Amino acid sequence: MRIGITGATGFIGSRLASLAHDQGHSVVAYTRGKRSVPAADAKLQQPKDAPHALPETPLDVLVHLAGESLMGLWTPDKKERIWKSRVDFTEALVAHLGTWKTEHRPRALICASGAGFYGNSGDRSVDETSPRGAGFLADVCAGWEGAAHRAEELGMRVVTLRTGMVLGREGGAFPLLRRVFGLGMGGRLGSGRQWMSWVHIDDAAQIMLRAAATDSVRGPINVCAPGAVTNAEFTQKLAAALQRPAFFHAPSFALRFLLRGMASEMLLSGQHVVPRAATEMGHVFQYPDIAGAFKALV
């Protein structure tokens, strides 16, 4: 396959590009910066004034991973950037793909989304058939997926990736968590009872590439390991892997005061996500449980 990737220089995009290259696929990296993508066969620059206007080239699949980071204070300006970089950007991207020659247009769009689609599911497990939850992240994910599905009007197969916390050495939350816990300053957040759905970067890239290559796969896929854990268990397993204590505790009221909406939706609530579609697609998780994932990462 000839696979285009937006966000190809990012943590997930670069790992996906490497895996695709290793499996014999041709990779086209779309980027707005100057960072290299060693695994890419071609690197195409996105226009700075219209980054959605990807340079036209023949593609079999486009994997769209670009978007504003969710980390940081959710000020009104930050929330607007999150929305525009995901929902508005994807709408413009799909419209732009409609201007491509039919023979160049990708047959499939694999678009990032998030497990935040389900809102705060409490102790109830959710899979791809579960309804949308409430909150800013749920709204963003629903709008993002809706924008992606407009590509179906162009005859494209659409898959949306409802990704949990991606764990890897090179990026995401894990390097920071490792430093904090390595100093003995780790601890649970709030009550610690909130569920955390996570996935090792290798499993995430494999699921994405399988979805790109499998013509029968459509709709949402939960990119999460089957072994979801509570925040308290996540804390305990990471501390054990690093052989460090984890006595600190961040109270809910302090997190809400300091981090505003981000704390309520990303740190103090969560989802117990079941990867039904990934399993049915034939993916066998290399890291199904958190202890094994942490052992590999440290």
**Does residue 155 fall inside a structural domain?**
yes
**Does residue 262 fall inside a structural domain?**
no
CATH number, domain with residue 45: 3.40.50.720
**Does residue 229 fall inside a structural domain?**
no
**Does residue 263 fall inside a structural domain?**
no
**Does residue 15 fall inside a structural domain?**
yes
pLDDT of residue 259: 77
Structural domain containing residue 148: 2-166+200-224+274-285
pLDDT of residue 99: 97
**Does residue 52 fall inside a structural domain?**
yes
**Does residue 57 fall inside a structural domain?**
yes
Give the C-alpha separation, 154 to 30, whole Å. 21
Please return the burial class of 129, using the count of CB atoms within 10 Å of its CB with bins 0-12, 13-18 and 19+.
exposed
pLDDT of residue 263: 65
Total of domains in the chain: 1
pTM value?
0.95
**Does residue 48 fall inside a structural domain?**
yes
End-to-end CA, the chain: 34
Three-state SS for 77-131 is: HHHHHHHHHHHHHHHHHHHHHCCCCCCCCCCEEEEEEEHHHHCCCCCCEECCCCC
List of residues 6+ apart from 260 with CB closer than 8 A? 73, 74, 75
Tens-of-pLDDT digits for all 298 residues of the chain?
999 999 999 999 999 999 999 999 999 999 988 788 889 999 999 998 899 999 999 999 999 999 998 888 889 999 999 999 999 999 999 999 999 999 999 999 999 999 999 999 999 999 999 999 999 999 999 999 999 999 999 999 999 999 999 999 999 999 999 999 999 989 999 999 999 999 999 999 999 999 999 999 999 999 999 999 999 999 999 999 999 999 888 888 787 777 777 767 788 889 999 999 999 999 999 999 999 999 999 9
**What does R_g of the chain's alpha carbons equal in angstroms?**
19
> Of 242, 249, 245, 236, whose CA–CA distance to 178 is shortest?
242
